[in-house]
Amino acid sequence: MKPVIRRIFFLIVFLLSGCGGGGGDQTSTTTSPLPTTTTTASATTSTSAATTTTTTVVAGFSVGGTVSGLAGSGLVLQNNLGDDQSINADGSFAFAAELASGVNYSVTVAIHPTLPDQYCNVNNAKGTVAAAGVSDIVVACTTGRFNVVDTNQSLCYDSTGGATKSCSGTGYDGAYDGNQPNYTKSSDGTMVTDNVTGLIWTSKVDRNGDGVVTVSDKLSQSAAMNYCAGKDYGDFTWRLPSIKELYSLMDFTGEDPSGYQGNDTSGLALFIDDNYFERAFGDSSAGERIIDGQYATTTIYVSPLGTMGGNTTMFGVNFVDGRIKGYPVEVNGPGALLRRCFMCIA
Ligand SMILES: [Ca+2]
Ligand SMILES: [Ca+2]
């Protein structure tokens, strides 16, 4: 949604109606006195018995910040997935549309710079306007690097007993915050923007849209690549991710359910943020295990020794048990059992 945004102004038109006498119609426009109104981003109309008063109250605050490190061209920022703002040089910026107090903002990179290829990271990207302009959004562009997302792991464990311990000085994942996972879901819930890597993901694994993830939604690697390439949605060019891209979604707050005997998956903690991405497990009705939540990638494991009984092997991510492994790329076994979950990226 794009709220109507303008600076505060008051327009009061008193239409004097029904006056007796032969003076004819009278219309006056004034800027005071001001009626008591609630400040919102939309027009407010109030009516009294004596006069008809139309009061338009629009309050807006700028949303912006600073850009640094920009070397390429073509950088486009968005606020709430709209209001495109082209950036040509380092320095301060502000979106054209201003937001009313209480309105959320979420700044993302719509197009990263090219020539040279750059990645621009956005910090302080989200918040709620609080009766003041926002100017602390920091867009930092770098050349030739891929922003690594933190695994969301903030705890550290003793390597022998497994008890939690202080992270200080350990050098463990939990000792580093890094680029914390940060996602934005599209309004229809079908796409997720990773605000750290800049990748845009399809969020659904339920390919046939019947509301449940089964083997019918899974494909072999080549079929998944064709499916993504043929996807016509959102004016993007879609493709199957590489292992590096898919692994960037790994969330180590998940818990490995290996050994779990039940069929109810509702209490299982996945290794992907299910606030943004669909939950997917093995299809027990088709003979799969609950942990058969492997996702396909384009990345092939090249080994002179051969793997998977001589079958070409791709790297995949299992968001149910948190593992990264090699899997055969094609359906060559008992029917659907070697098909994989997948998501597309742009
Ligand atoms: Ca961490
Ligand atoms: Ca389905």
CA–centroid distance, 174 to ligand 1, in Å, is 4
Task: Give the whole-number percent of the chain exceeding pLDDT 70.
Answer: 80
Mean pLDDT of the chain: 81
Q: Residue 165 half-sphere exposure, CB side, CA atoms within 13 Å?
A: 13
Provide the pLDDT for residue 200. Answer: 93
CA–centroid distance, 323 to ligand 1, in Å, is 17
Provide the pLDDT for residue 36. Answer: 36
Provide the pLDDT for residue 331. Answer: 57
Least confident window among 163-177, 217-231, 296-310: 296-310
Q: What is the mean pLDDT of residues 117-127?
A: 86
Count of beta carbons in the 10 Å neighbourhood of residue 35: 13
* Predicted confidence (pLDDT) at residue 288 exceeds the cutoff of 70: yes
CA–centroid distance, 148 to ligand 1, in Å, is 11
pTM: 0.59
Confidence class of residue 52 from pLDDT cuts 50, 70 and 90?
A: low
Provide the pLDDT for residue 232. Answer: 86
Specify the higher pLDDT residue, 111 or 203: 203
Give the closest ligand to the alpha carbon of residue 253. Answer: 1
* DSSP reduced 3-state for 35: coil
Lay out the sheet containing 91-94: strands in order across. Answer: 91-94, 63-68, 134-143, 118-123
* Predicted confidence (pLDDT) at residue 90 exceeds the cutoff of 60: yes
CA–centroid distance, 152 to ligand 1, in Å, is 5
Provide the pLDDT for residue 315. Answer: 93
Q: What is the mean pLDDT of residues 227-238?
A: 87
Tokens at 179, concatenated: 């680029």
Give the closest ligand to the alpha carbon of residue 150. Answer: 1
* Predicted confidence (pLDDT) at residue 11 exceeds the cutoff of 70: no
Q: Give the pairing of strands 156-157 and 164-165.
A: antiparallel
Provide the pLDDT for residue 145. Answer: 67
CA–centroid distance, 165 to ligand 1, in Å, is 14
CA–centroid distance, 273 to ligand 1, in Å, is 15
CA–centroid distance, 341 to ligand 2, in Å, is 11
Give the closest ligand to the alpha carbon of residue 212. Answer: 2
CA–centroid distance, 121 to ligand 2, in Å, is 35
Give the closest ligand to the alpha carbon of residue 218. Answer: 2
* Predicted confidence (pLDDT) at residue 7 exceeds the cutoff of 70: no
Confidence class of residue 51 from pLDDT cuts 50, 70 and 90?
A: low
Provide the pLDDT for residue 107. Answer: 93
DSSP 41-84: SS-EEEE-SS-EEEEEEB--B-EEEEEES--SB-EEEEETTEEE
